[in-house]
């Protein structure tokens, strides 16, 4: 692939990705909030050079509180979803900003956005426009309900999709309000779906040379996740019906779910009724047929199990179940999870130093590769931290970068390290050295951030991408 300055694969040497499995792949991440950024982060973890395109003031999600935890400059939600990315701050409502983006498109492999339907076209970054610049581009569009149709403008927010998908009506007691998952489940599933779509499209391009449009929506992602449950209804004809007891799954035999003990909670999953009866001292289970009676008598079996388990501690019951074939386990809080020896053994959590937030500990990588392991090459970027660097790779001279900043088309921010590198006479990608040597002033130097005046960048995609955090 050729860059705007005519050189070949200029991004490969500057990605900092080393030998990652996606090293040499450049991704333009124009998404915000969770689903899109999470997908892009996964690509960055595997070595792709992910460039986060932000408005001059930074992505909205940088500044919104996350679960009561506020950072120094960046909230923890943004930190957790934007590692292994570089940030370029562009005003896509300006001609200069759009021109820079088109230059980047010409050097990129993947373009990812979760704009509201119609926004991409208004900004001139829709698939047809970008394909004309780079026919091999893999263009990924994430939406709440689909690119068109009667619901296309509805807010694609996680809770709304959990409810609409039918997933929530499988939780809780019959007659009581359904309960949502305690995670942004639909966002996470949508992110994984987009990640899979990118990889499949890149594999297709590897074989054919063709780029393509990949569309992902939250409604389809959470619906198809329920493959088994929905098929029991659509193919098996068995209606969805919650129990009087808080059974964890409408189509699984009892007991199945969480149970209070004398000092906490444990979970049980589909035990043999006679073995369960002997273990917990419930004689009425002896002689029952597990596959038939555990379904026919779901509420009765659940209630009797709950009454027995409440008489002793979690440790007592887990020890007792460990000596049987019964599937049982503890109910962890986050503190328990982080301290768990298997989690430590797996290296599930990773840590890195951030220039404004200090030591960041966050979940790491869900996959392992023997030859091309995922790794952290950079933490979540500051707004515009890499604007100067990326424009240099495109062949822009230092003076022109300063002009773009002055006109408000871009915003730049230099970390202390980057500033020192420049002051030491670092050579830019166009071969020019900053004029004036170590005494030269840098755009934005002397202030925390050079934020250009003017209209903000891309509008939030939809409510999924703009407001699910509370």
pLDDT digits 0-9 by tens, 338-391:
999 999 998 999 999 999 999 999 999 987 888 888 999 999 999 999 999 999
Residue with more model confidence, 142 or 433: 142
Average pLDDT over residues 397-403: 97
What is the band of 248 on the pLDDT scale with cuts at 50, 70, 90?
Answer: confident
Q: What is the pLDDT of residue 6?
A: 34
Please report, in angstroms and rounded to a whole number, the separation of the first and last CA atoms in the chain: 42
The answer to whether residue 9 is domain-embedded is yes
One domain for residues 294 and 156: no
Range of the domain at 306: 265-330
The answer to whether residue 13 is domain-embedded is yes
CA atoms within 13 A on the CB side of 135: 3
DSSP designation for 175:
T
The answer to whether residue 178 is domain-embedded is yes
One domain for residues 214 and 151: yes
The answer to whether residue 273 is domain-embedded is yes
One domain for residues 229 and 344: yes
Average pLDDT over residues 236-255: 88
- pTM of the predicted model as reported, rounded to 2 decimal places: 0.79
DSSP alpha helix (H) spans, 69-226: 76-81, 95-106, 119-123, 127-133, 158-164, 185-208, 218-225
Average pLDDT over residues 28-57: 97
Q: What is the pLDDT of residue 260?
A: 94
pLDDT at 456 over 80: no
Q: Which residues contact 88 (CB under 8 A, 6 or more apart)?
A: 51, 52, 53, 54, 100, 104, 384, 386, 387, 390, 391, 410
The answer to whether residue 259 is domain-embedded is no
Cα gap 118→124, rounded to integer Å? 10
pLDDT at 11 over 70: no
**Tokens standing for residue 6:** 């005519």
The answer to whether residue 252 is domain-embedded is no
Q: What is the pLDDT of residue 388?
A: 97
What is the band of 425 on the pLDDT scale with cuts at 50, 70, 90?
Answer: very low
The answer to whether the beta carbons of residues 239 and 233 sit under 8 Å apart is yes
Average pLDDT over residues 42-66: 93
One domain for residues 307 and 450: no
Structural domains of the chain, count: 2
One domain for residues 359 and 301: no
pLDDT at 424 over 70: no
Q: What is the pLDDT of residue 66?
A: 79
The answer to whether residue 424 is domain-embedded is yes
DSSP alpha helix (H) spans, 226-340: 227-234, 273-280, 290-296, 298-309, 314-322, 334-339
What is the band of 435 on the pLDDT scale with cuts at 50, 70, 90?
Answer: very low
What is the band of 286 on the pLDDT scale with cuts at 50, 70, 90?
Answer: very high
DSSP 291-315: HHHHHHTHHHHHHHHHHHHTTS-HH
* Nearest to 296, CA basis, from 260, 257, 243: 243
Measured CA to CA in angstroms, residue 226 lies from 33, 142, 188, 190 at distances of: 24, 20, 15, 13
Average pLDDT over residues 96-106: 98
pLDDT at 2 over 90: no
Other residues' Cβ atoms within 10 Å of the Cβ of residue 318? 14
One domain for residues 366 and 400: yes
One domain for residues 324 and 350: no
One domain for residues 14 and 68: yes
The answer to whether the beta carbons of residues 111 and 138 sit under 8 Å apart is yes
**Of 16-30, 200-214, 240-254, 448-462, which gets the smallest average pLDDT?**
448-462
Catalytic site includes residue 45: no
Q: What is the pLDDT of residue 407?
A: 96
Q: What is the pLDDT of residue 54?
A: 97
Average pLDDT over residues 33-54: 97
Instruction: Supply the mean pLDDT for the chain.
Output: 84
Q: Which of 29, 49, 158, 187 is catalytic?
A: 187
Which residues are paired to 410 by β-bridges? 90
One domain for residues 283 and 427: no
What is the band of 64 on the pLDDT scale with cuts at 50, 70, 90?
Answer: confident
Residue with more model confidence, 443 or 280: 280
CATH code for the domain of 364? 3.40.50.10540
Q: What is the pLDDT of residue 251?
A: 83
The answer to whether residue 260 is domain-embedded is no
Last residue of a domain, one of 330, 357, 384: 330
Q: What is the pLDDT of residue 319?
A: 97
**Tokens standing for residue 139:** 């263009």
pLDDT at 452 over 90: no
Sheet hosting strand 110-113, strand order edge to edge: 212-217, 138-143, 110-113, 26-30, 49-54, 85-90, 410-411
Last residue of a domain, one of 291, 310, 330: 330
Q: What is the pLDDT of residue 415?
A: 65
One domain for residues 65 and 185: yes
One domain for residues 359 and 379: yes
3-state secondary structure of 66: strand
Q: What is the pLDDT of residue 85?
A: 98
Last residue of a domain, one of 311, 330, 349: 330
One domain for residues 8 and 137: yes
């Amino acid at each position: 692939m050729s860059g705007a300055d005519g050189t070949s694969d200029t991004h490969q040497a500057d990605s900092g990705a080393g030998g990652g499995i996606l090293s040499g792949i450049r991704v333009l991440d124009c998404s915000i909030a969770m689903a899109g950024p999470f997908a892009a982060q996964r690509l960055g973890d595997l070595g792709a050079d992910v460039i986060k395109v932000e408005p001059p003031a930074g992505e909205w999600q940088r500044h919104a509180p996350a679960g009561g935890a506020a950072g120094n400059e960046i909230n923890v939600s943004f930190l957790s979803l934007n590692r292994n990315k570089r940030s370029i701050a562009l005003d896509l409502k300006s001609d200069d900003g759009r021109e820079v983006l088109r230059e980047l498109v010409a050097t990129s492999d993947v373009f990812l956005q979760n704009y509201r339907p119609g926004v991409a076209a208004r900004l001139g970054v829709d698939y047809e426009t970008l394909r004309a610049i780079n026919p091999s581009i893999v263009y990924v569009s994430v939406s709440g309900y689909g690119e068109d149709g009667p619901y296309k403008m509805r807010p694609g927010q996680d809770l709304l999709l959990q409810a609409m998908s039918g997933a929530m009506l499988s939780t809780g007691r019959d007659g009581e309000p359904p309960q949502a998952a305690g995670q942004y489940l639909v966002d996470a599933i949508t992110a994984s779906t987009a990640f899979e779509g990118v990889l499949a499209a890149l594999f297709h391009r590897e074989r054919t040379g063709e780029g393509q449009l990949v569309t992902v929506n939250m409604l389809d992602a959470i619906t198809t996740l329920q493959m088994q449950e929905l098929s029991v209804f659509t193919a098996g004809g068995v209606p969805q019906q919650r129990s009087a007891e808080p059974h964890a799954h409408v189509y699984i035999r009892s007991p199945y779910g969480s149970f209070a003990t004398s000092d906490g909670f444990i979970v049980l999953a589909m035990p043999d009724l006679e073995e369960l009866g002997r273990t917990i001292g419930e004689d009425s289970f002896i002689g029952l047929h597990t596959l038939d009676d555990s379904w026919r008598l779901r509420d009765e079996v659940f209630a009797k199990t709950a009454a027995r388990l409440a008489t002793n501690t979690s440790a007592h019951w887990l020890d007792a179940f460990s000596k049987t074939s019964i599937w049982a386990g503890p109910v962890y809080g986050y503190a328990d999870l982080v301290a768990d020896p298997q989690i430590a053994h797996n290296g599930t959590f990773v840590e890195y130093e951030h220039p404004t937030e200090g030591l960041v500990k966050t979940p790491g990588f869900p996959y392992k590769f023997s030859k091309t392991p995922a790794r952290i090459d950079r933490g979540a970027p500051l707004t515009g931290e890499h604007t100067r660097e990326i424009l240099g790779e495109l062949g822009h001279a230092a003076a022109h970068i300063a002009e773009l900043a002055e006109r408000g088309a871009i915003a730049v921010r230099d970390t202390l390290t980057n500033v020192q590198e420049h002051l030491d006479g670092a050579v830019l990608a166009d071969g020019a050295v900053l004029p004036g040597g170590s005494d030269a002033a840098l755009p934005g130097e002397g202030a925390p951030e050079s934020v250009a005046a003017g209209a903000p960048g891309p509008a939030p995609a939809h409510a999924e991408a703009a407001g699910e955090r509370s």
